[in-house]
Amino acid sequence: MIPNVISKRKIILDTDPGGDDAFAFLWLQSLARQGFAEIVAVTAADGNVAAQYTFAGACKLLKLGGFDTVEVGRGVINARQGDRADAEAIHGADGMGNLTHTLPTPEQSYDTARLSDQILIEALKQAPGELTLVAIGPLTNLAAAEQASPGVLQLAKEIVIMGGAFSHAGNVTPEAEFNIAFDPEAAQVVFSCCDRIVVIPLDITSQLIFTPEHAQQIFQENPNSSIAQFMVALCQFMVKSTLAFRETSGVPGFLVHDAATMAYLFYPETLQFQRAQVEVETAGQWTRGKTVIDRRHKAKLSANAWIATEVNATSLFAIMIEDLKQLVASNR
Ligand SMILES: [Ca+2]
């Protein structure tokens, strides 16, 4: 039981579904069902696939879990988009293993949806200091909100970002991670205007290999659950593309980068952190999109973020699987 004095975490999920986004979504929905979280809004972002598809994916994931009354924003499309490659090859043409046709049809429509930055601005101004932004896609929406309404991101209780690579190699270039590399200017705007940022980088998410065995454990809890069936099928797709991209040292599984944000928010004992000033390289010919911190032992005059440096993957997966079992147990 939760003592009455503890209030739920109020969350806006900024997301570009995405196979690993889907697992973050479903974990969050389980936590919301258990009374630990409130999903205030979902702001879809241009990223893994184009904005229309991330919007549709986000709506369908909410409907799948029974949270379809949550408003979904459509992603801001940055004018510099021309030079960016999406991640269709990893996540499928629809962002979710070409499985969205198996998911329920949502009522919300891309054409009439509000833009994601408008939703962020309105929500943050209505509840200053109360909302946690969980950003698991490129940071275009957050930067657009800040540029339209300077100071608005400082109204967040906390901004939790999956992105960047510090000691670890990048995953789209030798140095850069996808979410930051997709829109480095946007990322730099966010890091320069807020000092309550938590970064979940590739350094720890590269250790989070979700396997078909994990999916089976959840599926066995309730084989009739449409959520469980979706997870098994998505895992199957993601394992194949992940092996092709050699991201797991040959282990049949895929990296649930985005889901690690939920571990930080609700089970922080699974992670260790370092405080630092994070900057984003926006000009480098070979390093564009790299996240940079100063590791030297020189006095630091500022810090904007906590960066996850270590993860207990065994504990994280044990917790995640139990929470997902709870979600599917009551699902048909
Ligand atoms: Ca994502």
- CATH classification of the domain holding 59: 3.90.245.10
Q: Is there a domain that residue 225 lies in?
A: yes
Q: Is there a domain that residue 4 lies in?
A: no
Pairwise CA distance, residues 63 & 57, whole Å = 10
Decide if 191 contacts 218 (C-beta within 8 A).
no
Residue 84: pLDDT above 70?
no
Q: Helix 212-221 to helix 313-329 angle, to the nearest 10 degrees? A: 30
Residue 256: pLDDT above 60?
yes
Decide if 159 contacts 187 (C-beta within 8 A).
no
The upper half-sphere exposure of residue 146, i.e. CA atoms within 13 Å in the direction of its Cβ, equals 21
Domain range for 44: 9-329
State percent of the chain over pLDDT 90. 82
Q: Is there a domain that residue 126 lies in?
A: yes
Pairwise CA distance, residues 57 & 99, whole Å = 10
Q: Is there a domain that residue 273 lies in?
A: yes
For 28-32, 97-101, 236-240, which range has the lowest pLDDT when averaged over its residues? 97-101
Q: Is there a domain that residue 40 lies in?
A: yes
Mean pLDDT, the chain, as a whole number?
A: 94
The pTM is what? 0.95
Average pLDDT over residues 26-38: 97
Total Cβ atoms within 10 A of residue 74: 27
Q: Is there a domain that residue 1 lies in?
A: no
Q: Annotated catalytic, 297?
A: no
* Count of domains observed in the chain: 1
Total Cβ atoms within 10 A of residue 267: 17
Contacts (Cβ under 8 Å, ≥6 apart) of 252: 211, 212, 239, 243
DSSP character string of 10-23: EEEEEE---HHHHH
Residue 242: pLDDT above 60?
yes
Q: What is the 127 CA–ligand 1 centroid distance (Å)?
A: 25
Higher pLDDT, 85 or 90: 90
Q: What is the 3 CA–ligand 1 centroid distance (Å)?
A: 33
Q: What is the 5 CA–ligand 1 centroid distance (Å)?
A: 33
Q: Is there a domain that residue 2 lies in?
A: no
Q: What is the reported pLDDT for 97?
A: 86
State percent of the chain over pLDDT 70. 96
Catalytic residue among 91, 168, 214, 257: 257
Q: Helix 19-33 to helix 226-244 angle, to the nearest 10 degrees? A: 150
Q: What is the 1 CA–ligand 1 centroid distance (Å)?
A: 32
Q: What is the 259 CA–ligand 1 centroid distance (Å)?
A: 9
Q: What is the 306 CA–ligand 1 centroid distance (Å)?
A: 20
Q: What is the 48 CA–ligand 1 centroid distance (Å)?
A: 7
Pairwise CA distance, residues 102 & 97, whole Å = 11
